[in-house]
């Protein structure tokens, strides 16, 4: 049941129901979920290790503000790994890689046309995860996923401004380069695709400066 608290709190944080800077306490959350303080405490520890909370001994626990530097370095990590993935994939593209990825893009177009940004986000994530799976490093994506929570908070603030058409176009470019075995082209396309998150961050900082440190 402590895990339930973890999930609930994490959702509240990434959906900005609990906003950066908000102060919470073990007793507070315990009463809100009808459990004891102990499971809440353990949930706090888990979330603090994931960088979502900041436990201040003897004082209080606050929802961590988003660190622009941290987001920047998370982006660096993601770009490093995804570039390596795409290079290896373009170097040895499996037989069914093009088909599997193409199928995903079709679904993304459907979601985009239906203006279902939530589903598009899920499919976008699945696209990148599939790239990792195709070369047998799905665990690596799991790592990215952990560090992506910070960026997801940013993304949630700018929902609706989803330029899904552009993203789909970039996905197509990537897949084309992969199936053609064009390593350098695939790498460049991936870097361009990921670079768009940079402007997203700048815009969000300007729009919500109090959520950042």
Partner DNA sequence: CTTTTCTATCTTGTATGGTAGACGCTCGTT
Partner DNA sequence: AACGAGCGTCTACCATACAAGATAGAAAAG
Strand pairing of 23-24 and 60-63?
antiparallel
Among 1, 23, 60, 77, interactor with a copy of itself by CB under 8 A: 77
73 interacts with, out of a copy of itself, DNA, none, CB within 5 to 8 A per kind: a copy of itself
> Does residue number 45 form part of the binding site for a copy of itself (CB under 8 A)?
yes
Strands of the sheet containing 53-56, edge to edge, are: 23-24, 60-63, 53-56
Residue of 14, 16, 35, 157 interacting with DNA (CB under 7 A): 35
Contact between 55 and DNA (CB under 7 A)?
yes
Q: Please say which residue, 16 or 54, places its beta carbon nearer to a copy of itself.
A: 54
Could you give the CA distance from residue 102 to residue 98 in angstroms, rounded to a whole number?
6
**Residue 41 interacts with a copy of itself (CB under 8 A)?**
yes
Sequential DSSP letters for 138-183: HHHHHHHHHHHHHHHHHHHHTTT---HHHHHHHHHHHHHHHHTT-H
Work out which of 22, 42, 109, 116 binds a copy of itself, going by CB under 8 A: 42
Exposure pattern of 139-163 as b/e (b: 16+ CB <10 Å)?
Answer: ebbeebeebbbbbebbbebeeeebe
User: Alpha-carbon distance 117 to 112, whole Å?
Assistant: 7
Return the residue of 25, 50, 67, 122 that touches DNA, per CB under 7 A.
Answer: 25
CB of 42 to a copy of itself, least distance (A): 6
Tokens standing for residue 140: 């690596």
**From a copy of itself, DNA, none, which one binds at residue 115 (CB under 5 to 8 Å depending on kind)?**
none
The answer to the question of residue 76 lying near a copy of itself (CB under 8 A) is: yes
Contact residues: a copy of itself, CB under 8 A: 38, 41-42, 45-46, 49, 69-70, 73, 76-77, 79-81, 83-85, 137, 139-140, 143, 147
């Amino acid at each position: 049941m402590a895990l339930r608290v973890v999930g609930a709190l994490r959702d509240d944080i990434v959906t900005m129901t609990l906003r950066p800077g908000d102060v919470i306490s073990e007793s507070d959350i315990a009463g809100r979920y009808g459990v004891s303080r102990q499971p809440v405490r353990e949930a706090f520890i888990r979330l603090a290790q994931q960088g979502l909370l900041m436990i201040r001994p003897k004082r209080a626990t606050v929802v961590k503000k988003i660190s622009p530097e941290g987001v920047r370095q998370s982006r660096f990590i993601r770009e490093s790994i995804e570039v390596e993935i795409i290079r290896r994939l373009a170097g040895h593209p499996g037989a069914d890689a093009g088909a599997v990825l193409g199928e995903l893009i079709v679904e993304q177009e459907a979601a985009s046309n239906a203006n279902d940004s939530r589903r598009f986000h899920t499919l976008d994530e699945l696209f990148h995860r599939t790239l990792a799976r195709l070369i047998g490093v799905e665990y690596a994506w799991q790592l990215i996923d952990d560090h992506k929570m910070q960026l997801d908070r940013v993304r949630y603030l700018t929902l609706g401004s989803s330029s899904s058409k552009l993203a789909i176009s970039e996905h197509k470019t990537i897949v084309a380069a992969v199936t053609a075995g064009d390593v350098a082209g695939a790498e460049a396309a991936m870097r361009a695709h990921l670079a768009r998150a940079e402007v997203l961050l700048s815009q969000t900082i300007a729009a919500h400066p109090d959520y950042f440190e």
